[in-house]
A and B are shown apart, each in its own frame.
Chain A
Amino acid sequence: MSFIRWSWIADNPDLILEKLLQHVELTGFALLFGFMIAFPLALAAIRWPRLYAPSLATTGVLFTVPSLALFILLIPFTGLSMATSLIGLTIYTLLILFRNIVAGLRGVPQEVSEAARAMGYSRSWQLFSVEIPVALPVIVAGIRIAAITTIGLVTVTALIGQGGLGQLFITGFTLHFATPLIVGFVLSVLLAVVVDLVLAGAVWLMTPWRRGRS
């Protein structure tokens, strides 16, 4: 018996594609929602430094909850739905995103912010046209880590009926049949690599000012 049965792949392209797209969808939305929560939280923690420690502690504790336990805890509220999966996945992105956005904005040289203020920028315009662009590499670095973590975690949500490529693991496991397992594994690793490279490329394109820097 050969290790992988190619005919299974040939017979099930639609299934594989569907799971891949679901995987991308779950990852994308989790990152989007995570960013939508972490970003204002980070701005608040910069504006009111007192908020930083409790925010970090909260997102940190959430991050340590075992993923399977978290999904099971959510089932009574949201059932075996995509919402359950997304809520869990979003929660796991918060710590990484929050920490990197704060670190990025805090890393903006003080004289740069000061210069913007002295030139007559309004507070919000200073944030969006000076501080965020300068902090972008650190912020995107956070998104990259969060994306890779989430792509891995999505497979766990197969246990609550979601899971994208993770469902191929379950299929393989219940049928004692390695091919779907290997396909799911290879594709999720490839997805992580591709997403990471795309984000790295995007930040390279967006920050011409960092090139050629020693």
Chain B
Amino acid sequence: MITFESVSKRFGAGPPAVDDLSLEIAEGELTVLVGPSGCGKTTSLRMINRLEELSEGRILVDGRDIMATDPIELRRGIGYVMQSSGLFPHRTIRNNIGTVPLLLGWERDRINQRVNELVELVGLTPEMLDRYPHALSGGQQQRVGVARALAADPPIMLMDEPFAAVDPIVRTRLQDELLRLQKRLHKSIVFVTHDIDEAIKIGDRIAVFRDGGRVAQYASPTELLAAPTSDFVVDFLGAERELRRLALVSVSDAGFEMGPVVTPGDSAETAREAAERHGSDWVLVVDADGRLQGWTSLDALDDEPVPADVSGTFKYTVAAGDSLRAALNAMLVSGIGVAPRLAEDGRYEGLLTQAALNRQLS
């Protein structure tokens, strides 16, 4: 656990970069420090391994005051990943990853073994080990940066906007892999970003910083989105706050209904009754095997029995594990404002309606 106790940091005479910050960062969680540039989030991060010395207050790591620890020892025990990978250009990828173990005096064999493990873990290939950093893409360099930070298996990792400099597609992949890694490793990660979407996606808890190094709110992503405590946080979360909330809730958490379901061959009368019960002018067509065929309006039936292939098809369907944001997207393009939910085996389970989303957001 990392504890900030009334920590302030001043550079020269100006206003403090970090002002009376108190924060508890839980063990084994991914804590995100997010905020506009110049809000003190990076300075706060860098004080943890004493890259910046604090001016006032105390920082405790596992109960020990960091000022009582030799900074070099302290840094060797804390992983650090930075925005530009900061790899050593004159060392091979193998030696870059093995940096801290070498400093700690591990034996060559043990270092090599550890490097080989890490390469797999961060999704690189062993052939890359003997190359130099300049031969790797930006995304690959960041992976090496993560592997280097993990090398000596430190319980704490500090990550300073590690994915800010890579393109959006690679960034998404790196975020997913970080989450996957974290599921296995349970490190205490402090992650700085200015991107609220990134914070919401990866954070267990989020500290929203505002100008002058103060924390405006410290909460879990769902709490933050559901109950922002100040206008600053509302503004920072942006106009799409509700959409972001939907992204955090899965389809299985929302209610669904059967909807007006008919089978191919049913009479037009049966279809009309089903639609009336549901209050719609369309029906869903589900075959005898439970497969959703599509939808048709009553007008299009023209008093004929329900055909097997109908004109209305669904571009997207959702499953229990999808987010409500995906469900909303499916609704928007469905033509009839609903999102069909399918079971894992592809059978029709029910319908999500906008009313179900509204209930989640209220």
Structural contact, B90 and A209, CB atoms closer than 8 A: yes
Structural contact, A119 and B99, CB atoms closer than 8 A: yes
Give the size of the chain A interface in residues (CB under 8 angstroms).
20
In the complex, B201 has a CB within 8 A of chain A:
no
**Cβ of B76: which chain A residues have Cβ within 8 Å of it?**
119-120
Please measure, in the bound complex, the distance between the C-alpha atom of A209 and the C-alpha atom of B133, giving whole angstroms. 8
**Cβ of B83: which chain A residues have Cβ within 8 Å of it?**
111
Structural contact, B103 and A133, CB atoms closer than 8 A: no
In the complex, A83 has a CB within 8 A of chain B:
no
Contact residue among A115, A121, A212 (Cβ-Cβ distance under 8 Å from B103): A121
Contact residue among B86, B100, B134 (Cβ-Cβ distance under 8 Å from A112): B86
Q: Contacts A117-B51, A209-B134 hold; do A133 and B80 have CB atoms under 8 A apart? A: no
Restricting to B93-117, which residues have a CB under 8 Å from any CB of A? 99-100, 103
Structural contact, A120 and B86, CB atoms closer than 8 A: no
Structural contact, A130 and B51, CB atoms closer than 8 A: no
Structural contact, B89 and A120, CB atoms closer than 8 A: no
Which residue of chain A is the closest to B100 with respect to CB atoms?
A119
**Cβ of B74: which chain A residues have Cβ within 8 Å of it?**
120
In the complex, B135 has a CB within 8 A of chain A:
yes
In the complex, B132 has a CB within 8 A of chain A:
yes
Please measure, in the bound complex, the distance between the C-alpha atom of A115 and the C-alpha atom of B88, giving whole angstroms. 8
Please measure, in the bound complex, the distance between the C-alpha atom of A111 and the C-alpha atom of B148, giving whole angstroms. 15
Contact residue among A118, A134, A208, A209 (Cβ-Cβ distance under 8 Å from B51): A118
Which residue of chain B is the closest to A125 with respect to CB atoms?
B103
Restricting to A179-210, which residues have a CB under 8 Å from any CB of B? 207-209
Please measure, in the bound complex, the distance between the C-alpha atom of A197 and the C-alpha atom of B187, giving whole angstroms. 52
In the complex, A70 has a CB within 8 A of chain B:
no
Instruction: Give the bracket for the number of chain B residues in contact with chain A.
Output: 20 to 34
Structural contact, A119 and B75, CB atoms closer than 8 A: yes
Return the 8 tightest CB-CB contacts between A and B, nearest first: A115-B86, A120-B76, A120-B75, A118-B80, A111-B86, A209-B132, A111-B84, A209-B90
B: residues with CB less than 8 A from A are 49, 51, 72-77, 80, 82-92, 99-100, 103, 132-135, 148
Known: A133-B90, A209-B133. 20 other contacts (CB 8 A): A111-B82, A112-B86, A112-B88, A114-B86, A115-B82, A115-B87, A115-B88, A118-B75, A119-B75, A119-B80, A119-B99, A120-B77, A120-B100, A121-B72, A122-B72, A134-B88, A209-B91, A209-B92, A209-B134, A213-B134
A-B contact pairs, 21 of them (CB 8 A): A109-B86, A114-B82, A114-B86, A115-B87, A115-B88, A118-B51, A118-B75, A120-B72, A120-B73, A120-B76, A120-B103, A121-B72, A130-B88, A130-B90, A207-B90, A209-B89, A209-B90, A209-B91, A209-B92, A209-B133, A209-B134
